[in-house]
Amino acid sequence: MSLLDAGAAAVAKAVRAGDVTAVEVIEEALARLDATEGDLHCFQTVLGDKARREAARVDEAVGEGRDPGPLAGVPIALKDNLCTHGIETTCSSRILEGWRPPYDATVVERLRGAGAVAVGKTNLDEFAMGSSTENSAFGPTHNPWDLSRVPGGSSGGSAAAVAAGVVPLAFGSDTGGSIRQPASLCGVVGIKPTYGVVSRYGLIAFASSLDQIGPFAPTVADAALALEVIGGGDPRDSTCLARPAPRLIEVLGRGVEGLRVGVLEDFVDDVSASCRRAANDAADALAAAGAKVDAVSVPEARLGLPAYYVIAPAEASSNLARYDGVRYGLRVEGPDVEAMNARTRAAGFGREVRRRIMIGTYALSAGYYDAYYGQAQRVRTLVTRAFDAAYERFDVLLSPTTPSEAFELGAKTANPIEMYLSDLCTVSSNLTGQPAISVPYALGDEGLPVGVQVMAPALGEALMVQVAAVLEQAAPAEARGPVPVGGRARGEAADGA
């Protein structure tokens, strides 16, 4: 097994010990990227020479006896809505094609400070609006398990890059499930932290009260390590909590003896047999490991999806008003400013983005604000209170991550409502601001990965990953990446399993 397949912690340990150079690790990652990109289209931008220079600096630090950091030499991928100084950042939209930010996102700074080396910027649904990565202006990403299937969205490029073994860590944003949903469909671990645990400075906004940055990794331990690196207060983001990053690695081996686990019943009739079976099997595994497992109903969870699809477009319509053809990005000339604005936005935004801007603008308009946006915010409060009440009885909650296995490319593009239902199990955690993790747990009836979701109360990341680590040990190795592009035969174990 290649060191790259051993995971982020193993790579960093070997680089810091001088057993392998960061440059050697990065060269292998770039070779894998080159070998798979034609099939997968995970990346918008490849940072080959820049990655080599940064890897060389890591090796220089090791040679001088300095500690490069906990992610020394680890190849990473960044969703292309994270600002990177001097590097094109497009949000997979024509309206930002060619734009190079004059600053780095806080998360990018922290990863570089920890010794990680970015090899590229990954593809996404335009402005993170989608559940399949088919809304990218630059073409869809394909699922490594089956190239005819979607990788999920909106962070599909990041999830697929980890699933294919190109990088052991990648980063995305989660507004309604955009980390957890592709993590489930690609057979990797994905974390959406508590709102405010990770700085949003430098994340190009979709919906500011919902967006949160988080990691993808092959294992819970690597995802926990990544969250420790990127978390913590940031004075440049007023919504970021003024507290240290959560300490997660130390809790991974504690088990679940005596913990109270509630299994959500509210989505049972809305998910496939494979997803339902995976969640039930995960509950049985936790019970066998000593947890106190019981069913729980949070009926308000079913209100999350309609509330989300009012709040998120409303915030998007405000955030995306800045793309007007005047200051940066695409500009389509017109006879006056109003015509130039209209032509620029019509040419620069894709269909789904235009749809959500129109929905959001309508919801915020005079005469409709209280009936739509105001009412959705009241529903959001109800959902939050309902989950808070559930956490008085249970330490964590368990559910399917997605309603189905990865679906075929093009299967839902003509029906936006059906596509929106992909977020059914995930949006509640964004509305409440509470953390959630998706862990690969099974292969479904079509031989594709199925994830289960562990949810926790606000700032409950440590308890969440503690439970996730037990589920990971109980899950079959063949349910998770990395996989050869095009998938592996059913029942074939992962390398090194």
Q: Is the pLDDT of residue 493 over 70?
A: no
Per-residue 3-state assignment (H helix, E strand, C coil) for the chain = CCHHHHCHHHHHHHHHHCCCCHHHHHHHHHHHHHHHHHHHCCEEEECHHHHHHHHHHHHHHHHCCCCCCCCCCCEEEEECCECECCECCCCCCHHHCCCCCCCCCHHHHHHHHCCCEEEEEECCCHHHCCCCCCCCCCCCCCECCECCECCCCCCHHHHHHHHCCCCCEEEEECCCCCCHHHHHHHCCEEEECCCCCECCCCECCCCCCCCCEEEEECCHHHHHHHHHHHECCCCCCCCCCCCCCCCCHHHCCCCCCCCEEEEECCCHHHCCHHHHHHHHHHHHHHHHCCCEEEEECCHHHHHHHHHHHHHHHHHHHHHHHHCCCCCCCCCCCCCCHHHHHHHHHHHHCCHHHHHHHHHHHHHHCCCCCHHHHHHHHHHHHHHHHHHHHHHHHCCEEEEECCCCCCCECCCCCCCHHHHHHHHCCCHHHHHHCCCEEEEEEEECCCCCEEEEEEECCCCCHHHHHHHHHHHHHHCCHHHCCCCCCCCCCCCCCCCCC
In a domain, 297, yes or no: no
Instruction: Give the range of the structural domain holding residue 239, as residue numbers without chain letter.
Output: 3-254+436-479
How confident is the model at residue 486, as a pLDDT? 84
How confident is the model at residue 328, as a pLDDT? 86
Q: Are 196 and 440 in contact (CB under 8 A)?
A: no
How confident is the model at residue 488, as a pLDDT? 64
Average pLDDT over residues 408-418: 96
Query: What does DSSP say about strands 169-173 and 75-79: parallel, antiparallel, or unpaired?
Result: parallel
In a domain, 354, yes or no: no
Number of separate domains in the chain: 1
Q: Is the pLDDT of residue 494 over 60?
A: no
In a domain, 187, yes or no: yes
Q: Is the pLDDT of residue 489 over 60?
A: no
Average pLDDT over residues 39-48: 98
How confident is the model at residue 497, as a pLDDT? 39
Round the average pLDDT of the chain to a whole number and report it: 96
Provide, rounded to the nearest whole percent, the portion of the chain with pLDDT above 90. Answer: 95
**Annotated active-site positions, please?**
79, 154, 178
- CATH number of the CATH domain containing 458: 3.90.1300.10
- What dihedral angle (degrees, nearest 10) is formed by the CA atoms of 74, 476, 161, 79? -80
Using 50, 70 and 90 to split pLDDT, how confident is the model at 496?
very low
pLDDT tens digits along 183-218: 999 999 999 999 999 999 999 999 999 999 999 999
In a domain, 268, yes or no: no
In a domain, 296, yes or no: no
In a domain, 295, yes or no: no
pLDDT tens digits along 84-97: 999 999 999 999 99
In a domain, 321, yes or no: no
Q: Is the pLDDT of residue 309 over 80?
A: yes
Distance separating alpha carbons of residues 124 and 120, to the nearest angstrom: 13
pLDDT tens digits along 218-266: 999 999 999 999 999 999 999 999 999 999 999 999 999 999 999 999 9
How confident is the model at residue 61, as a pLDDT? 98
Average pLDDT over residues 350-359: 97
In a domain, 155, yes or no: yes
Q: Is the pLDDT of residue 495 over 60?
A: no
Q: Is the pLDDT of residue 158 over 90?
A: yes
Provide, rounded to the nearest whole percent, the portion of the chain with pLDDT above 70. Answer: 98
